[in-house]
Structure 1
């Protein structure tokens, strides 16, 4: 296939450009259906005349249908999208980028989703879908999974199919909650994922914002909290997001003094309660109940799902030199990481 793609790129490069454009249009309709033509043009950042022409072509090929509520992808269109994924990956050279990124970060594996999340928000849906598929194919009976919170992890859980493929699975929140945006909290995502997987689960009913270690020690005397924390020692698959240090410090309501401290220490990324500088050193770890940065190396598999070029430095800082880590990200972010490194 690689040789064929190289020949096409040399002889008819416009063919591959047209293929990629129509694939992107189909995928955008799929993620937003039913969708009107004007909104589709805005999402794709294409002129309405171009979109009208392409939509008519896709309709004539029976790949989409149009009704009063908008456009929807047909069953044949869904099949085309699935069939083209590997070809698009190959045509854009993403297998090579995955290999390069794996080597420079020194991690177990990298999975790249075509597209740029900052330019096309619908890529978040594909990021969640690919991550959900990866998780389903890389867990086994009796695994103990732990999840952090966040909008990216919500996309993963939303795209997880309802199934009971595995037996004896347990799902746990990796930490407590921030106290806002309940739908993104680790407890909420844990319960939703467990129901979809027909798995057992426990929740951690404790704010993640408690910074007094004496208070944390006192809370640990509660059997319901202590039991969950004990179970977290058995986690062998951790699924997490990665955030920019400055944004996560703001979300967690860290004091102005602490934010200044993080700036002075050069913190650029946050994951699993630790703030990392550009060299991957943990410059600060939040006192918390749950999985901490120092626990991560003891876990069999760390699956980090993160996208957006603004997070490139945060990803490098949080994941570099973690041989148990898998990164699932978008094409734009992957290339930005390689550019930085």
Structure 2
């Protein structure tokens, strides 16, 4: 494919330019539908005349439909958009970027969506779908799947396709609740994933950040103990990578704790531990759920994070277990390149 793209760049560069333009239009329609021509032109910084011409072409190809409310994707258009993604990644040099960063971070695999969620927050859906595609490619090899909470993981669960057949899988929340909206709690997301897969799930009705004195008595409750035993059996973990400051807020840490975490150079948090950019523990808190030793021993892990502000957290987490498969976006990937040696690789 690379040789063909290089030839096209030299002989018919307008073909690639048109493809990128139409991909951008289809993608924006998929994210913002129903949308009118004027708003679409404004979002993509194109003239209305250009948009009108392109929209007519896409409609003739049965990739979009138009009604009084605006433009929206057809089923064929959705399929074409998904199939175009890998080709656009090659055109934009993302495939090469994935190879370079996989080697630099020393992890199993990196998947980079051809979008920046810093510029297009709605593109986080693309990241969730990419994570879902990779998840579906390996889930049948596993029996117990751990799921964490947060907005990224909620998007992951929401965008999983609905399975028609029953899957012999158990879905478990990998950690306790963090005192936030019910929709983004690990319990709720584990149940969402299970329903999409027609699998089985168990719940963990325990706050994540309880005192150690209380933890012993709660974890001895039979239902809680049973769930913790299931967590010990996790053989695939899917989680959103969080930076230290955001996670400290989610965990309702005190101002004093937040200051200590910052002063010690923490850039990421996972399973009650805060890490510096080298993946070294700089602060610990009590937590319920998967333990760090268990995480380090896992052979299959999917971490999802995008945006420049998550790059240092990604680098930190990548150094804890090299079996990580990272799903990210262009903005995080580009900053990772900067902080791991620049763009000099050939």
TM-score, normalising length: structure 2:
0.92
Question: Residue 107 of structure 1 contacts residue 321 of structure 1 at CA under 8 Å; is this kept in 2?
Answer: no
Alpha-carbon RMSD across the aligned residues, in angstroms, is: 1.9
Shift of 1:60: 3.8
Deviates more, 1:323-332 or 1:60-69: 60-69
Question: Residue 273 of structure 2 contacts residue 281 of structure 2 at CA under 8 Å; is this kept in 1?
Answer: yes
Distance, in Å, in 1 between the alignment partners of 2:51 and 2:270 is 40
Deviates more, 1:45-54 or 1:155-164: 45-54
- Aligned partner of 1:322 in structure 2 is 321
Q: Is the partner of 1:329 in helix, strand or coil? A: strand
Distance, in Å, in 2 between the alignment partners of 1:293 and 1:13 is 50
Question: Residue 176 of structure 2 contacts residue 186 of structure 2 at CA under 8 Å; is this kept in 1?
Answer: yes
Question: Residue 29 of structure 1 contacts residue 35 of structure 1 at CA under 8 Å; is this kept in 2?
Answer: yes
Q: Is the partner of 1:139 in helix, strand or coil? A: helix
Q: Please state if 1:30 is matched with 2:26.
A: no
- Aligned partner of 1:232 in structure 2 is 231
Compared CA separation, residues 45 and 241, structure 1 to 2 (3 A): farther
Distance, in Å, in 2 between the alignment partners of 1:142 and 1:266 is 36
Shift of 1:9: 2.2
Shift of 1:168: 2.0
Question: Residue 149 of structure 1 contacts residue 186 of structure 1 at CA under 8 Å; is this kept in 2?
Answer: yes
- Aligned partner of 1:182 in structure 2 is 182
Q: Please state if 1:117 is matched with 2:117.
A: yes
Shift of 1:290: 0.2
Task: Give runs of ≥4 in structure 1 deviating > 6 Å.
Answer: none
Shift of 1:53: 4.1
Q: Please state if 1:70 is matched with 2:70.
A: yes
* 1:139-186 CA-partner distances (Å, limit 9, x unpaired): 126510011111111111111111155642000001111122211110
Shift of 1:17: 2.7
Distance, in Å, in 1 between the alignment partners of 2:178 and 2:187 is 11
Shift of 1:49: 5.1
Distance, in Å, in 1 between the alignment partners of 2:127 and 2:260 is 33
- Gaps of at least 5 residues in structure 1 are none
Compared CA separation, residues 269 and 141, structure 1 to 2 (3 A): closer
Distance, in Å, in 1 between the alignment partners of 2:326 and 2:139 is 16
- Gaps of at least 5 residues in structure 2 are 341-346
Question: Residue 43 of structure 1 contacts residue 120 of structure 1 at CA under 8 Å; is this kept in 2?
Answer: no
After TM superposition, list the pairs within 5 Å mapping 1:212-231 onto structure 2: 212-231=211-230
* 1:289-314 CA-partner distances (Å, limit 9, x unpaired): 10132321122211101111111111
Query: Aligned pair count?
Result: 340
Distance, in Å, in 2 between the alignment partners of 1:135 and 1:83 is 18
- Aligned partner of 2:344 in structure 1 is none
Shift of 1:14: 4.1
Q: Is the partner of 1:137 in helix, strand or coil? A: helix
Distance, in Å, in 2 between the alignment partners of 1:184 and 1:45 is 34
Q: Is the partner of 2:139 in helix, strand or coil? A: coil
- Aligned partner of 1:193 in structure 2 is 193
After TM superposition, list the pairs within 5 Å mapping 1:1-341 onto structure 2: 1-46=1-46, 48=48, 50-140=50-140, 143-163=143-163, 167-210=167-210, 212-320=211-319, 322-341=321-340
Compared CA separation, residues 76 and 194, structure 1 to 2 (3 A): closer
Compared CA separation, residues 122 and 44, structure 1 to 2 (3 A): farther
Distance, in Å, in 1 between the alignment partners of 2:75 and 2:11 is 32
